[in-house]
Amino acid sequence: MRVAALYDIHGNLPALDAVLDDVRQAEVDQIVVGGDVFPGPIPRETVARLLDLDVPARFILGNGDREVLSRMRGAENGALPEPVREVIRWVAESLRPEDERLIGGWPSTIHIDVDGLGRVLFCHATPRNDTEVFTRRTSEELLSPIFGSLDAQLVVCGHTHMPFDRRIGEVRVVNAGSVGMSFAGPGAFWLLLGSGVELRRTDYDLAMAAERIRSTSYPQAQDFPANNVLQPPSQATTLDLLARVELK
């Protein structure tokens, strides 16, 4: 079995379309969408594209999806900064009632047995919740209680938008990176599982994507293409920023 793991799409449809072209060429048997399809600038068309795949797809719930779902159900997270709440509101209002039912059925984790790799656990941030932050620098001592007793040989995660491949005790932990909102330089990042583990990067037309996003009514229609498409932060910059909020 060959599995493509697509994480943190964040409504960036041009990036997703480019990745799906590569996924088709890789002849995968299944796609796992690892959370945070939302929020982002082209939400309705993005989820429609994922539902129209000609390959079986399974979805897990990310923290961004969860916040959008809560808003669709009439609740709002007052702990989030107002600019983030504005984005969540806009996305929630852009989606359809059937999307609420769809997102509400996404689980927090899934398991898939992959020949040659064993049992693989897919989660968004960590196996125990969808917001914990850890990176390739986070100490194994802090992470062992989370990853030390899992029924899996491999864990695939996302959330921090930076790809990495490391071991935590006996478990291999791989971050798939972000399709639509990279914190590791330009491009769309994803993961291919088969006989091995391949961190993939797909180029796409950044200028076209930026123009497409600017043409939307997304509240951050200017900032998103500038800071997350054309000139996304480097991995080194992001590691320094995440050091303030990672597990301690």
97 Cβ partners below 8 Å, 6+ apart? none
What pLDDT shows up at residue 149?
A: 87
Tokens in use for 3? 């599995």
Cβ(23)–Cβ(55) under 8 Å?
A: yes
Cβ(30)–Cβ(55) under 8 Å?
A: yes
What pLDDT shows up at residue 141?
A: 95
What pLDDT shows up at residue 32?
A: 98
What pLDDT shows up at residue 235?
A: 87
Nearest to 140 by CA among 111, 173, 117: 173
What number of helices (H) and strands (E) belong to the chain? Answer: 9, 10
Tokens in use for 219? 């509240």
Tell which phi-psi region holds residue 64, choosing left (phi > 0), alpha (psi between -120 and 50) or beta.
alpha
Average pLDDT by consecutive 10-residue portion of the chain (248 residues)? 97 98 97 98 98 96 98 96 97 97 98 95 98 96 94 97 96 98 96 96 98 98 97 91 91
Instruction: Report H helices in 95-180.
Output: 97-104, 140-147
Can you tell me which residue has the tokens 């209680």? Answer: 145
What is the Cα 96 distance to its own chain's centre?
A: 21
Q: Is residue 67 part of a domain?
A: yes
What pLDDT shows up at residue 248?
A: 85
Q: What CATH code is carried by the domain that includes residue 199?
A: 3.60.21.10
Q: At what angle do helices 82-94 and 43-51 cross, to 10 degrees?
A: 50
Q: Is residue 150 part of a domain?
A: yes
Phi, psi of 73 (to 5 degrees): -95, 5
Instruction: Report H helices in 174-234.
Output: 206-214, 223-224
Structural domains in the chain (count): 1
Q: Is residue 248 part of a domain?
A: no
Tokens in use for 35? 């959370």
Instruction: Report helix, strand or coil for 5.
Output: strand
Domain range spanning residue 12? Answer: 3-242
Instruction: Report H helices in the chain.
Output: 13-25, 43-51, 63-72, 82-94, 97-104, 140-147, 206-214, 223-224, 235-242
What pLDDT shows up at residue 246?
A: 93
